[in-house]
Amino acid sequence: MSDKIPKLQRLSQHFWVGLGCQQGVSRKLIETAIEQVLRENQLHQSGLAKGFGGAIAGLATINNKASEVGLVEFCQLHNISLKTYPAEILRLVSVPNPGEITAQVMGTPSVAEAAAMLAAGNIDWQSTIGLQVGKNEEQFSTHQSLQLNAHLANLTPYLIDIGVRCLVPKQIFRLNDEPKAVTIAVAALIPPLSENNLAR
């Protein structure tokens, strides 16, 4: 039975952290939450000792959180890239823990998990938006070009097919001295090993 399970190649230091947060969240809370998630899930490896930039590829969130002061400060301090996605694209990703309240408030049932998975898959959301309005001549730019139709309803099968995995489902963090909360999830691209690598 075990020979039917595909062997996966873990790409160290290529974790994408998806983040959802309340307005006014502090850099301290973001740092604490990410560090705890990496440590508890043994994702930091040796990279954490060199700073967050050595442990993760970047952060991902919804468009309207791109200017959050605490988030911007965190990314600048640790020299980490930030990817953002509109709700219209985030809601195309099926996630382990969708939220009804999140869907009502943000226009998508997931921010952290969906953003992490999209970032790990290197999704070109501008092309995807074009497809949503019927411009099916556009292509979906990821690790390889993929033609999609104008009736796209779910990106999850494609993300799974190229090897995107949600390694850490969303977790909500708070600090005792801060009323705000932050939600963290982690995803990575873990493609199957090639036949050449399996033979070694």
**Residue 51: CA count within 13 A, CB half-sphere:** 9
In this model, does residue 29 exceed pLDDT 70?
Answer: yes
What's the mean pLDDT in 82-86? 92
Domain containing 145 — which CATH number?
Answer: 3.30.420.180
Please identify which residue in the block is written with the tokens 């090639």.
194
Task: Write out the two tokens for 31.
Answer: 């740092």
Q: Average model confidence (pLDDT) for the chain? A: 75
Q: Find the domain containing 32 and state its range.
A: 9-192
Residue 25 lies in a domain: yes
Tens of pLDDT, residues 109-160: 899 999 999 999 887 665 444 433 333 333 333 333 333 433 456 788 888 8
Please give the tally of structural domains in the chain.
1
Cβ atoms of 34 and 184 within 8 Å: the answer is yes
DSSP labels for 95-122? -SS--HHHHHHHSSS-SHHHHHHHHHTT
Residue 1 lies in a domain: no
pLDDT of residue 52: 55
Residue 101 lies in a domain: yes
Cβ atoms of 95 and 117 within 8 Å: the answer is yes
From the list 87, 90, 92, 125, the residue with the least C-alpha distance to 107 is: 87
Strand 178-189, strand 15-21: pairing: antiparallel
pLDDT of residue 4: 34
Q: Which residues contact 45 (CB under 8 A, 6 or more apart)?
A: 12, 13, 55
Residue 23 sits at φ, ψ, to 5 deg, of -60, 135
Residue 2 lies in a domain: no
What's the mean pLDDT in 35-62? 72
Residue 197 lies in a domain: no
In this model, does residue 165 exceed pLDDT 80?
Answer: yes
What's the mean pLDDT in 3-29? 70
Task: Please give the Cα distance from 17 to 61 (Å, whole number).
Answer: 9
pLDDT band (50, 70, 90) for residue 96 = confident
Cβ atoms of 131 and 89 within 8 Å: the answer is no
Please identify which residue in the block is written with the tokens 């954490």.
48
pLDDT of residue 3: 37
Tens of pLDDT, residues 63-79: 999 999 999 999 999 88
pLDDT of residue 151: 41
Regarding pTM above 0.85, the answer is no
Residue 92 lies in a domain: yes
Residue 172 lies in a domain: yes
